[in-house]
A = this chain, B = another copy of it.
Amino acid sequence: MQYFPPALETLTEQFARLPGIGHKSAQRLAFFVLSQSAEDVQAFADALLGAKHSISLCPVCQNLTEGEGPCALCSSDKRDRGVICVVASPKDVVAIERAREYDGLYHVLHGVISPMNHVGPDDLHIKELVERVAAGGVREVIMATNPDTEGEATAMYLSRLLKPFQVKVTRLAYGIPVGSHLEYTDDATLMRALEGRREI
């Protein structure tokens, strides 16, 4: 029985470890790598090692950063240091920055509390958030976790944790998304949109 060379099997296994990639896809990717030039494969390997080695967490906001010390946002003098927006992932920071509306700082939890997935408060960067608030100078903490069960629970947990520090804790507004159709909006969202209605 002749199978693929061991080095190709090893590469296929490595690809198959990535989330959402099954054995067949992994094999296709491994064959693609073989068809690339040696320089291209080297560039891929360098990118893997480079990202892993050079990226660390900002000691202040826990967002991804390159190099030593606080990240660009935390060391910027154009941001309001009295407001902290709490998000679950670095992707959420990019999403909020894209809206060009917010000028405060962030705090990245790197996950949400999820008993189902065995993620408790100690697995997230919650201690660092409490320390930042305890250090003073913070007027408001905005909870910007996802509007699902786990995001909600995490926001509730944090708001209770921050209560002793007399800081204003807010939550992103719920409502109908811009550009959507009332007809297709789910009941829970419509209910929240009615609850949160504002005078025009």
Contact A8-B49, Cβ < 8 Å, known A1-B97, A91-B27? no
State the copy count for this chain: 2
Taking a contact as CB atoms under 8 Å apart, the answer to whether B8 and A51 are in contact is yes
Taking a contact as CB atoms under 8 Å apart, the answer to whether A44 and B14 are in contact is yes
Taking a contact as CB atoms under 8 Å apart, the answer to whether B64 and A14 are in contact is no
Alpha-carbon distance between A185 and B64 when the two chains are bound, in angstroms = 54
Taking a contact as CB atoms under 8 Å apart, the answer to whether B32 and A51 are in contact is no
Decide yes or no whether A29 CB sits under 8 A from chain B: yes
Closest chain-B Cβ to A161's Cβ sits at a distance in Å of 25
A47 is contacted by which of B2, B3, B11 (Cβ under 8 Å)? B11
Decide yes or no whether A25 CB sits under 8 A from chain B: yes
Taking a contact as CB atoms under 8 Å apart, the answer to whether B18 and A55 are in contact is no
Alpha-carbon distance between A2 and B47 when the two chains are bound, in angstroms = 21
Contact A14-B47, Cβ < 8 Å, known A64-B8, A65-B5? yes
- A contact residues, total (Cβ < 8 Å): 58
Interface centre among A3, A63, A100 (most CB of B within 10 A): A3
Decide yes or no whether A33 CB sits under 8 A from chain B: yes
Decide yes or no whether A70 CB sits under 8 A from chain B: no
Decide yes or no whether A173 CB sits under 8 A from chain B: no
Contact A66-B34, Cβ < 8 Å, known A41-B52, A52-B41, A91-B27? no
Taking a contact as CB atoms under 8 Å apart, the answer to whether A72 and B11 are in contact is no
Alpha-carbon distance between A41 and B49 when the two chains are bound, in angstroms = 7
B-chain residues with CB within 8 Å of residue A40 when the two chains form the complex? 17
**Shortest Cβ distance from A71 into B: residue:** B2
Closest chain-B Cβ to A18's Cβ sits at a distance in Å of 5
Top 5 A-B residue pairs of the complex, sorted by shortest distance between their CB atoms: A45-B45, A11-B51, A41-B52, A14-B47, A5-B66
Taking a contact as CB atoms under 8 Å apart, the answer to whether B66 and A52 are in contact is no
Decide yes or no whether A90 CB sits under 8 A from chain B: yes
Taking a contact as CB atoms under 8 Å apart, the answer to whether A48 and B54 are in contact is no
Considering only residues 35-66 of chain A, those with a C-beta below 8 Å from chain B are 36, 38, 40-55, 63-66
